[in-house]
Amino acid sequence: MTTSYKDSNIKLTNVLLTQFEQGREVPALIDLLAKRPGALTMQDRMLMSRAVAARASRRSEATTVAIGVEHLSVLATMTAFMFGNSAKQPIWTTDPAPRCRDADICRELNTLLPEDNLVVDARELVQRCAKGKDFLIVLLNHDHHNEIRAVIDMFDAGRKGLLLVRDYGLIHAASQYEYGRERGFRLLETPEGSGELIAF
């Protein structure tokens, strides 16, 4: 999607917004599966793309994908479609059905996510993740303070993974930075306002 932007300070023309480009798998799947794709912000789309990229890089290695941001739970449906869902590579999420289109393809893909993989909230999600030792890709909201700290603690104990935090750039959300820094990690703010912590 090419677009232009102009205000009193800047003029941008022929800007390619890959987050909306239908020739790319994540934007195409968002439009195909999400109930309200237009309601997903640039940050939401970037978080989903980064989670998919991280999962793709793991190939067949033991990896858990955990989605604790309820309105992004359609990512679980997308991930199940792209990579499957197995004991070696589980997907934990809140129920994605309310965030998916009312379509046969969504209902069929959501059958790849058994009831045992669905959680009530981010707290339960992180509790279930704490039992694993595999690579962890977890997506949480900025106000999931205790859950973010629990994931940082998992990384501090030696678990490898990627923590993505929605709306981390909000002023009150940056309190997690110090908690991570004290343990030798850097929770970085990305240009679209999300946060990212990588533990390798």
H-helix or E-strand spanning residue 104: helix 104-110
Instruction: Look at the block and give the residue holding tokens 């039992």.
Output: 131
Token representation of residue 19: 């987050």
Nearest to 29 by CA among 66, 84, 79: 79
- Pick 135 or 192 by higher pLDDT: 135
Map out the domains of the chain as residue ranges. 38-199
Alpha carbon distance 110, 16 (integer Å): 32
Pick the CATH number of 38-199 from 3.40.50.1370, 3.40.640.10, 3.40.50.150, 3.40.50.620: 3.40.50.150
Express each pLDDT in 17-73 by its tens digit.
555 555 578 889 999 999 999 899 889 999 999 999 999 999 889 999 999 999 999
Alpha carbon distance 133, 159 (integer Å): 6
Can you name the residues that pair with 91 across neighbouring β-strands? Answer: 65
